[in-house]
Structure 1
């Protein structure tokens, strides 16, 4: 059997909030697997609809999974990070965009797809994420944020 490579099939937002100039937290969702030992933490992401633009899909999916709307966040479309993972016999590509949540006190409404959510600093996020590519993405985005390289965004 050979594996197939699909085009981008999923998208998500790597959401952050600023606590101070150099203190940043990332929003991660805990998967809702049957056994607690199998659960892990991920940024919000999901499958794109047919012919859906990845950034529009990421915004739609984020609202569904967290309750955050495009009015709650700035999405930095120039900061896109591709994560590839193996799902059975297929490779899936996920485009993650960096996004800032304006209101640090905004209530997160975790969907039924996830059992919990947490805001985590970089060290905590890296300790709780299962996949090395996600950890690398978090480190890259932390550097972009703390070095003030954000520039323009889309709403």
Structure 2
């Protein structure tokens, strides 16, 4: 069985010299918190998907972001017993005051420091990803 593919961006901003990560709360299922991401459409690259989904789910375009294409991580897990692969890239919001516009797929958003972002993400692989990306964000 081939894995369902998804892609997204882990977006951070610097506020008062502190790194904050953007997490969106889904309006479906368990209402979990996640960076903007979504399924790869047929014929679409992971990269194109990440940009499209970020625009659809958060209203942010590539022009709003400084994307670090060399800072990437792929997560492998199961959803309802089926394999899923999600590719994430790290991205910095150029204007920390830029408004995020949620889609109907999400009911809330939070900008959080890494520890709080890890706490509400709930999944060990996402906690590890956030820790690794936070180390990079501190020096970018």
TM-score by length of 2: 0.94
Q: Distance in 2 between matches of 1:119 and 1:14?
A: 11
Q: Structure 1: which 5+ runs fail to align?
A: 151-155
User: Residue 66 of structure 1 aligns with which residue?
Assistant: 58
Q: Structure 2: which 5+ runs fail to align?
A: none
Q: CA RMSD in A?
A: 1.4
User: Residue 104 of structure 1 aligns with which residue?
Assistant: 96
Q: Where do 4+ consecutive residues of structure 1 move more than 3 Å?
A: none
TM-score by length of 1: 0.85
Please identify, of 134-143 and 48-57, the stretch whose mean Cα deviation from structure 2 is larger: 48-57
For the Cα contact (< 8 Å) 1:55–1:77, is it kept in 2?
Answer: no
Match of 1:82 among 69, 74, 86: 74
Q: Distance in 1 between matches of 2:2 and 2:127?
A: 23
Please identify, of 23-32 and 51-60, the stretch whose mean Cα deviation from structure 2 is larger: 51-60
Match of 2:135 among 136, 139, 143: 143
Match of 1:95 among 87, 95, 99: 87
Going from structure 1 to structure 2, the CA distance change for 1:89 and 1:126 (only over 3 Å counts) comes to: closer
C-alpha deviation, 1:5, in angstroms: 3.9
For the Cα contact (< 8 Å) 2:12–2:137, is it kept in 1?
Answer: no
For the pair shown, the structure with the greater C-alpha radius of gyration is 1
Comparing both structures, which one devotes a greater share of its residues to helix?
2
